[in-house]
Amino acid sequence: MKSLESINEFVIKFANVNGTGSASANNLFAKALFRMGLPVSPKNIFPSNIQGLPTWYEVRVSEKGYLGRRGGVDIMLSVNPQSMPQDVREVEPGGYFIYDSTKPLDLRLHRKDINIIGIPLTRICNEEYEDPRQRQLFKNVIYVGALAALLDIDFAVLTELVADQFKGKEKLVLPNIHALELGHQYVKANLDCPLGIRVRKSDKVGDKILLDGNTALGLGAIYGGATVAAWYPITPSTSVVDAYERYAKRLRIDPGTGRQNFAIVQAEDELAAIGMVIGAGWNGARAFTATSGPGLSLMSEFLGLAYFAEIPTVLFDVQRAGPSTGMPTRTQQSDVLSAAYASHGDTKQVLLFPSTPRECFDFGALSFDLADRLQTPIILMTDLDLGMNDNMSDPLEWDDERKYDRGKVLTAEDLDNMERFGRYLDVDGDAICYRTYPGTHPEKGAFFTRGTSRDEYAIYTERGEEYEKNMLRLLAKWETIKSYVPRPEIIRSEQQTEMAVLYYGTSEEASREALDYLAADGVHLNAMRVRAFPFNDEVEQFMADHEQVFVIEQNRDAQLRTLLMAEFELGPDKLKSVLCFDGTPISARNIRKQILMHLPGYNVTPLRRERVVGQGE
Amino acid sequence: MSYQQPKFRHPSLPVNDLGYTRADYEGAISTLCAGCGHDSISGSIVRACHELSLEPHKIAKLSGIGCSSKSPTYFLGKSHGFNSVHGRMPSVVTGAAMANRDLLYLGVSGDGDTASIGMGQFAHAIRRNLNMVYIVMNNGCYGLTKGQDSATADEGSASKKGDPNPFGAIDLPGLALQLGATFVARSFSGDKEQLVPLIKAAMSHRGFALIDVVSPCVTFNNNSASTKSYEFVREHAEATGTVDFVPMREEITTSYEPGHSQEVTMHDGSVLRLRKMAEDLDPFDRGSAMMALEASRSSGQILTGLIYMDKDSADLHEVLNTSRRPLNTLAEEDLCPGDKVLQNINQSLR
Ligand SMILES: Cc1ncc(C[n+]2csc(CCOP(=O)(O)OP(=O)(O)O)c2C)c(N)n1
Ligand code: SF4
Ligand SMILES: [Mg+2]
C-alpha cells in the first residue's frame, strides 16, 4: 500500500457524537492551522438533535487556497463507534483512519488499503480523570494534542490559542494544556510520527479572518443602521439575530441614558416577524428579519403586500435542505424560486447572493440602503454552509464617510413646497415614487397604504387601467433596480472559449477549484458569479456571449437555471445543470465530473452508478 | 370606490384647542351599507379625537381586512393609514410602534380578523402590552365575504341565512383578561355616550387597550334570531357603570356622592370618573372583572362599559428599555460604530 503524502494539502474529518463538547476542540484544531498561516475551511455536518447522534467536522486544509469541499477524506479521526463503518469506508485509499483503540477495532471494519492508527483515548482519559464530565470534555482536547504530534502542528501555537480562548477564565488554561500534552506525549512515545500527511508553517493567510456568515450578517445589520429586528427561531438562521443582539448590546446602548438604540422582538411566528418588519419599514425605521425555508413560505402573503404597497423590507434567508422540514441542519440553495417570485399575483423580489462572510457583511448593510432606495423587499439568500461555518474571509471594512441612503422621503418642508403629493406618482421617471413617514406634516402628505389597487394618489380604485398602469410602473421599477444591485463577477479563461460556468453563493469556492482541474483536463471555461436578481445587463451579455453555460447549484430542480430561462427566454439546450442536493456543500470533484459527463469525448463513469448525477461524494 | 369628503366648513361649527372642527377629523365618505354599525363607531372615533384635540397627523390608524378594516379610510383623513393583510394588523402595529414610540396607534379590526385568522397575533400583542388602542367592530359574522358565522357568534344565534350557530362564542374581553390585557372594555356601536369616553380613556392608557364594540351588520346579521342585532343588543346590554373622561387640562368641578363614584388619574394626567359602578365589580381587580363578565354572560346579558384597567403597567418599550428618542429618528452617528471598532472585531477573529 502506498500511503498518502502531502504537506499542507489535505482533508481531515472528525466523527463525533453531538452534545459531547467536541465543537470547541475541533475549532481549536482548525484555528491552530489558520494561525500557522494555512488556509482552512472547516464545515460542521450535524443532526437536528441536541444530544447523542453522529456529527462530523470536516476541515479542508489547502495552502493553494482552495476553500470549497474537495470531496473525499484523507484522514478520519473517529471517536464515534456508531458511525465507524461508514467512516472507515469514506477514507481515500492510502489515507489514515485514527480511532479510539481502548476497545479493539471490529475485524470487519479493517481495510488493507488504508493506515489504521489506534490511540487509546478513553483509557488515557479514564486514567487521568475521575469526573465523568471532565472525561468527556478532555477526551476531545487529548485527540487534538495527539493530532498535533501526528501532523507536526506547532505546539506553541496551540497553547497560545488555549490562552486566548479562555481569556477571563484563566483557571481553565492549564488543565486544557495538560490534556493537549497527554495526547501529544502518547503519540510521541508510541507511534511513528509525523504522518505522510503533515503541516508546515506558511504565509497564505495574510490579514484574513475566520468568521461565520451569520455573525457577519448580524454585524452588517448593525453597521447598516437596522434598529428593529423581529424574528422566530429557526436553524440555520437563529445565529444571525443572536449576533445582532450580542453586538447591539455592546455597541448600541445610548451612553447618556443606558437605553437601547434598537428593539428586538421575538415574534410568535414568521408571519408576525415579517409583519413587524413591514410595520417598522413603513414607519421609517430600518428593520430586518432572518429565517429559513419554512419561515419564507409563511411570509409569502406579507411579501406580496410589501412588493405591491412598496414598503422597504429586509429579509435574510439562510437556506437549508427542503422541502418541508427536509434536512433542517443540512445545506442547500433551494429557496431561489420561492423567494424570487414570493407571493401570489405577479410579484418579483430582489435577491442578493453573498458568497463569503465579507460579502454577508457588505450585502447585509447594503440591503438596508437598497430597501429604502427601491422601496421593496430585499431578500438576502445565504445558506447553512456559509451561515453556520467559519469561513476564511477578507477582513471587514467600513468607510466612515459613508452615509445611509434613505431613499425618496419627503420632509415637512418638501411637502410645503409642492403642489400635490402623490404616493404612487412617478415624478422622476425612474418608477420610484416619493413617500412620507407618518407624523411628518399636520396637513399634508398623509396617505393610505394598502394591498388593494389604488391610483397614483393612493386612493382606492378598481379601474382596470389604473391597476394596469401601476403594475407596469412596478415592472419599470424592476428595470431601475437592475442598475442598483451588485454586478456579477466575471473570470475569463486564459484560452478563448465558447463555454462557461455560472454559479452563485457557496458554490463559488468549489467551482473555482473545479475550473482549475478542468483546465488541467484541457477544458477551458469562462466563469460568472451571479450576485443578485434581477439579473443586470452584464449577466445578459455574458449569457449571449456563450454557446454553452453550465449552471452550478445546490438544489434538485436547477432553480437559478429556471430563473435565467424565464427572465431571458433562453432555450434549455444552452444551459446545462450541475447539481448537488444531498445536503452537503457541493465539491470540486463532483463539479468536474458532472461537467465532463456533459462533454462528448470525456466519458467519465460515475463513481456510484445507482445514484443520479447531482450527488456529492 | 371611496370619495374624498367635501371639505365644507360651516362657520359656526365648534372648534377644539387646535382650531380644528370635527370635519377635520373625518375621512373619505363611507362605502359601507347604510346603517352599518361600523360607521357609527367611526363617528365616535372622530368625536373622541376632536374632543381630545389630538393632532391628526400624530395618529396612525391600521387595520386588517374586512368591512370593519375598511373603516379607517372613513375617519382621520389627515392621518397615515395602513390597511394590511387579513388578521395581521397587530404585527404591523408592533413594528410601527417599535419604529416610532411617539405616535398614537389606533388599530381597527373585525371579529373575523381578530378572533379567527388573527387570533395568534391578537393574543401576542396583548401579551407584550403593546401601547395601542385596539377596536374590534364585532358583528358576529364575516360581513365582507357575505355573512358567514364568525367565532364570536353566540351558540344558537342565527344570521339571515337562518341556521343556528352550533359552536360556542369566543368572548374577546374575557380572553383579553385571561391574556393579561391592561385595559378591557366593551361597548355598542349604537351607544355613543358610552363609547366616546371609553375611546378617550383607551387613548390615554399606556399599554394595550381593547374595546370590543358590538356593531350590527345590517345586511347579514341584524335579524330577530341574531344575538348581534340592534334590537337584541339594546335589550340585553348591561353597563358596568358610567365613565366620564376628563382631559388633563380641565379642572374637575363637579363632585359626586362618595361610594357611587370613583376617580382615577391616568398616566398622562387625565382623570377617569367612574359613576354608578356595579356593586360587585372592581374594575381594578382582574379577578373581579372576570367574575362580572362570567356572571353577566351566564344570565344572558352583554356586559358593557369599562371592565378592567391596570393604569400602572409597563408597555413593550419600557420592557425593552428602548431609547426615548424614536428609533426612526436615529442616524449614522447613533447607529454606526465605525471602522475602528470593526478593525478590533477583525483582530479578534484571527
Ligand atoms: C388570507 C385571507 N383569507 C380570506 C380572505 C377573505 N376575507 C376578506 S374579509 C373576511 C372576513 C372579514 O370578517 P370580519 O373581520 O369580521 O370583518 P367584517 O367584514 O365583518 O367587518 C375574509 C374571510 C382574505 N382577505 N384573506
Ligand atoms: S356587509 Fe355588514 S358589515 Fe359589511 S358594510 Fe354591510 S352592514 Fe356593514
Ligand atoms: Mg365581522
Note the residue count of chain A.
617
CB contact under 8 A, A227 and B92: no
Pairing of β A287-291 and β A313-319: parallel
How confident is the model at residue B10, as a pLDDT? 62
- Asked if pLDDT for residue B4 goes beyond 60, the answer is no
User: How close is the nearest chain B Cα to the Cα of A452, in Å?
Assistant: 8
- Chain A residue nearest residue B117, CA to CA: A271
- Asked if pLDDT for residue A108 goes beyond 60, the answer is yes
Stretch A168-192: mean pLDDT, rounded? 96
- From B142, B148, B222, the mutation candidate for ligand 1 (largest count of ligand atoms within 8 A of CB) is B142
How confident is the model at residue A608, as a pLDDT? 42
The distance from CA A447 to its chain's CA centroid, rounded to whole angstroms, is 40
How confident is the model at residue B8, as a pLDDT? 58
> Does the beta carbon of A249 lie under 8 angstroms from any beta carbon of chain B?
no
Closest CA to A135 of A102, A168, A161: A102
Quickly list DSSP for B276-340: S--TT--TT-HHHHHHHHHHHHHTT-EEEEEEEE-TT---HHHHHTB-SS-GGG--HHHH---HH
How confident is the model at residue A610, as a pLDDT? 38
Q: What CATH topology corresponds to A489-597?
A: Rossmann fold (3.40.50)
Q: Which residue's CA lies nearest to atom 8 of ligand 2? A: B36
- Asked if pLDDT for residue A606 goes beyond 70, the answer is no
Cβ proximity of A195 and A184 under 8 Å:
no
**Distance in Å, CA A540 to ligand 3 centroid:** 51
Does this model's pTM top 0.90? My answer is yes
CB contact under 8 A, B98 and A263: yes
Pairing of β A197-198 and β A209-212: unpaired
pLDDT band at A56 (very low <50, low <70, confident <90, very high): very high
- From B30, B36, B113, B159, the mutation candidate for ligand 2 (largest count of ligand atoms within 8 A of CB) is B36
H-helix or E-strand containing B198? Answer: helix B192-204
Residues 6+ apart with CB under 8 A from B145: B112
**Distance in Å, CA B136 to ligand 3 centroid:** 9
B93-122 pLDDT, tens per residue?
A: 999 999 999 999 999 999 999 999 999 999
Q: Residue A361 has which C-alpha cell?
A: 457583511
CB crowding A72-99: b at 16 or more within 10 Å, else e: bbbbbbbbbbebbeebbebbbebbbbbb
- Asked if pLDDT for residue A410 goes beyond 50, the answer is yes
- Asked if pLDDT for residue A323 goes beyond 50, the answer is yes
- Asked if pLDDT for residue A50 goes beyond 90, the answer is no
Burial classification of residue A600, based on how many CB atoms lie within 10 Å of its CB (0-12 exposed, 13-18 middle, 19 or more buried): exposed
Q: What CATH topology corresponds to B22-320?
A: Rossmann fold (3.40.50)
Instruction: Supply the mean pLDDT for chain B.
Output: 94
How confident is the model at residue B7, as a pLDDT? 55
Pairing of β B104-110 and β B59-63: parallel
How confident is the model at residue B62, as a pLDDT? 98
Stretch A58-86: mean pLDDT, rounded? 96
**Percent of all residues in chain B with a pLDDT value above 70, rounded to a whole number:** 93
H-helix or E-strand containing A610? Answer: none
DSSP structural state of residue B26: B
B292-305 pLDDT, tens per residue?
A: 999 999 999 999 99
Q: Is A455 helix (H, G, I), strand (E, B) or coil?
A: coil
Kindly tell me the sign of the dihedral angle through the C-alpha atoms of A455, A456, A459, A460: positive
Cβ proximity of A535 and A348 under 8 Å:
no
How confident is the model at residue B311, as a pLDDT? 86
CA angle centred on A39, ends A33 and A43, rounded to 5°: 85
How confident is the model at residue B239, as a pLDDT? 94
Chain B residues with CB under 8 Å of A251 CB are: 337, 341
Q: What CATH topology corresponds to A6-198?
A: Pyruvate-ferredoxin Oxidoreductase; domain 3 (3.40.920)
A473-515 pLDDT, tens per residue?
A: 999 999 999 999 999 999 999 999 999 999 999 999 999 999 9
CA distance A503 to A506: 9
A228-258 pLDDT, tens per residue?
A: 999 999 999 999 999 999 999 999 999 999 9
- Amino acid identity of residue A91, one-letter, is V
- Amino acid identity of residue B78, one-letter, is K
**Which residues are bridge partners to A45 per DSSP?**
A56
Q: Which residue's CA lies nearest to atom 11 of ligand 1? A: B142
> If DSSP states are collapsed to H, E and C, what string results for A230-295?
EECCCCCCHHHHHHHHHHHHHHCECCCCCCECCEEEECCCHHHHHHHHHHHHHCCCCEEEEECHHH
CA distance A83 to B306: 65
Stretch A52-80: mean pLDDT, rounded? 95
Cβ count near B305 (within 10 Å):
25
User: How close is the nearest chain A Cα to the Cα of B124, in Å?
Assistant: 7
* Preferred mutation among B179, B328, B332 to probe A, highest tally of A CBs within 10 A: B328
**Distance in Å, CA B142 to ligand 1 centroid:** 6
Reply yes or no on domain A211-393 having CATH 3.40.50.970: yes
Stretch B330-336: mean pLDDT, rounded? 97
Q: Is A406 helix (H, G, I), strand (E, B) or coil?
A: coil
Radius of gyration in angstroms for the set of CA atoms belonging to chain A, rounded to a whole number:
27
Alpha helices in A379-485 (DSSP H): 384-388, 412-416, 464-482
Domain segments of chain A as ranges = 6-198, 211-393, 408-470, 489-597
- Asked if pLDDT for residue A111 goes beyond 90, the answer is yes
Of B56, B337, B339, the CB nearest to A251: B337
Kindly tell me the sign of the dihedral angle through the C-alpha atoms of A99, A105, A110, A116: positive
CA distance A59 to A78: 14
How confident is the model at residue A602, as a pLDDT? 75
- From B32, B83, B145, the mutation candidate for ligand 1 (largest count of ligand atoms within 8 A of CB) is B145
> Does the beta carbon of B102 lie under 8 angstroms from any beta carbon of chain A?
yes
How confident is the model at residue A613, as a pLDDT? 40
How confident is the model at residue A611, as a pLDDT? 39
Chain B residues with CB under 8 Å of A280 CB are: 95-96, 98-99, 327-328
Cβ count near B21 (within 10 Å):
17
Lowest mean pLDDT among A119-128, A216-225, A495-504, A567-576: A567-576
- Angle of helix B286-298 relative to helix B172-179, nearest 10 degrees? 160
**Percent of all residues in chain A with a pLDDT value above 90, rounded to a whole number:** 93
Note the residue count of chain B.
350
Stretch B303-329: mean pLDDT, rounded? 96
How confident is the model at residue A600, as a pLDDT? 84
Residues 6+ apart with CB under 8 A from B176: B126, B184, B210, B212
How confident is the model at residue A607, as a pLDDT? 45
CA distance A519 to A497: 12
Stretch A524-542: mean pLDDT, rounded? 98
> Does the beta carbon of A225 lie under 8 angstroms from any beta carbon of chain B?
yes
Report the complex ipTM: 0.96
> Does the beta carbon of A263 lie under 8 angstroms from any beta carbon of chain B?
yes
Cβ proximity of A232 and A269 under 8 Å:
yes
How confident is the model at residue A508, as a pLDDT? 98
Q: Residue A34 has which C-alpha cell?
A: 489558520
CA distance A204 to A241: 32
> Does the beta carbon of B1 lie under 8 angstroms from any beta carbon of chain A?
yes
CA distance B204 to B271: 9
H-helix or E-strand containing B58? Answer: none
**Distance in Å, CA B141 to ligand 3 centroid:** 4
> Does the beta carbon of A370 lie under 8 angstroms from any beta carbon of chain B?
no
CB crowding B61-96: b at 16 or more within 10 Å, else e: bbbbbbbbbbbbbbbbbbbbbbbbbbbbbbbbbbbb
How confident is the model at residue A18, as a pLDDT? 86
Q: In what order do the strands lie in the sheet containing B183-188?
A: A448-450, B80-83, B59-63, B104-110, B132-138, B208-214, B183-188, B302-309, B237-239
B50-91 pLDDT, tens per residue?
A: 999 999 999 999 999 999 999 999 999 999 999 999 999 999
